[in-house]
Structure 1
Amino acid sequence: MRLATWNVNSIRARVDRVTDWLERADVDVLAMQETKCSDDQFPTMPFAALGYEVVHCGFSQWNGVAIASRIGIDAAEVGFDGQPAWGDKPEVEAAAEARALGATCGGVRVWSLYIPNGRTVDSPHYAYKLEWLAALRDTAASWLAADPSAPIALVGDWNIAPFDDDVWDISLFQESTHVTPRERDAFNALIDAGFTDVVRPFTPGPGTFTYWDYTQLRFPKNRGMRIDFILGSPAFASRVTHGEIARDERKTGKNRVGSPSDHAPVVVDLDI
Structure 2
Amino acid sequence: MNIATWNVNSLKIRFNQVLDFLVKNNIDILCLQETKLIDDNFPHEEFNRLGYQSYCYGQKTYNGVAIISKYKAIEVSYGIKNYIDEQKRVISITVNVNNFDLRIICIYCPNGQSLESDKFRYKMEWFYHLNTFIYNELENHKNLILLGDYNIAPSDDDVYDTNIWQNTILVSKDERTAFTNLINLGLNDLFNKFDQPKKSFTWWDYRNYSFLKNNGLRIDHILASNSVQSVCESFNIDIEMRKKERPSDHAPVSIRIKTI
Equivalent pair of 1:19/1:46 in contact (CA under 8 Å): no
Could you tell me which residue of structure 2 aligns to residue 19 of structure 1? 19
Selected match of 2:153 from 139, 161, 182? 161
Counterpart of 1:260 in structure 2 is 247
Equivalence for 2:129 = 135
1:227 counterpart residue number: 219
Q: Shift of residue 179 of structure 1? A: 0.4
The one-letter amino acid paired with 1:261 is S
Question: SS at 2:175's partner residue?
Answer: helix
State the secondary structure of the residue aligned to 1:12: coil
Deviations 1:167-220 (A, max 9, x none): 111111124210000000000001111010112332525310000111111111
Which residue in 2 is equivalent to 1:125? 119
Q: Which amino acid aligns with 1:267?
A: S
2:258 matches 1:271: yes
Q: Are positions 1:44 and 2:31 aligned together?
A: no
Structure 1 residue 112, shift from structure 2 partner: 0.7
SS at match of 1:119: coil
Name the TM-score, length of structure 2 as normaliser.
Answer: 0.94
The answer (yes or no) to whether the contact 1:11–1:35 under 8 Å persists in 2 is: yes
Residue 201 in structure 1 maps to residue 188 in structure 2: no
Residue 151 (str. 1) matches residue 143 (str. 2): yes
State the number of aligned residues. Answer: 255
2:76 aligns with 76
Q: Distance in 2 between the 1:178 and 1:203 partners? A: 24
Equivalent-residue separation in structure 1 for 2:38 and 2:74 (angstroms)? 21
Q: SS of the residue aligned with 2:248? A: coil
Q: Which amino acid aligns with 1:239?
A: V
Q: Which runs of 4+ in 1 moved over 4 A?
A: none
Partner residue in 1 for 2:10: 10
Instruction: Give 1:146 deviation, angstroms.
Output: 4.2
- 1:204-257 CA-partner distances (Å, limit 9, x unpaired): 2531000011111111110100000010012221211111111111003xxxxx
Q: Is structure 2 residue 92 aligned with structure 1 residue 105?
A: no
Q: TM-score of the superposition, structure 1-length normalised? A: 0.90
Alpha-carbon distance change, 64 to 235 in structure 1, aligned in 2, over 3 angstroms: same
Q: Distance in 1 between matches of 2:195 and 2:236?
A: 6
Q: Which amino acid aligns with 2:159?
A: V
TM-fit CA distance, 1:41: 1.4
Give 3-state SS (helix, strand or coil) of 1:220's partner.
Answer: helix
Once the two structures are TM-superposed, the CA of residue 102 in structure 1 deviates from its matched residue by 0.3
> Which SS does the other structure have where 1:82 is aligned?
coil
Distance (whole Å) between structure 2 residues aligned to residue 117 and residue 182 of structure 1: 13
Give the RMSD, CA atoms, in angstroms: 1.3
Closer/same/farther in 2, CA of residues 203 and 26 from structure 1, 3 Å limit: farther
Amino acid at match of 2:30: L
Secondary structure in structure 2 of the residue aligned to 1:219: helix
Shift of 1:73: 1.9
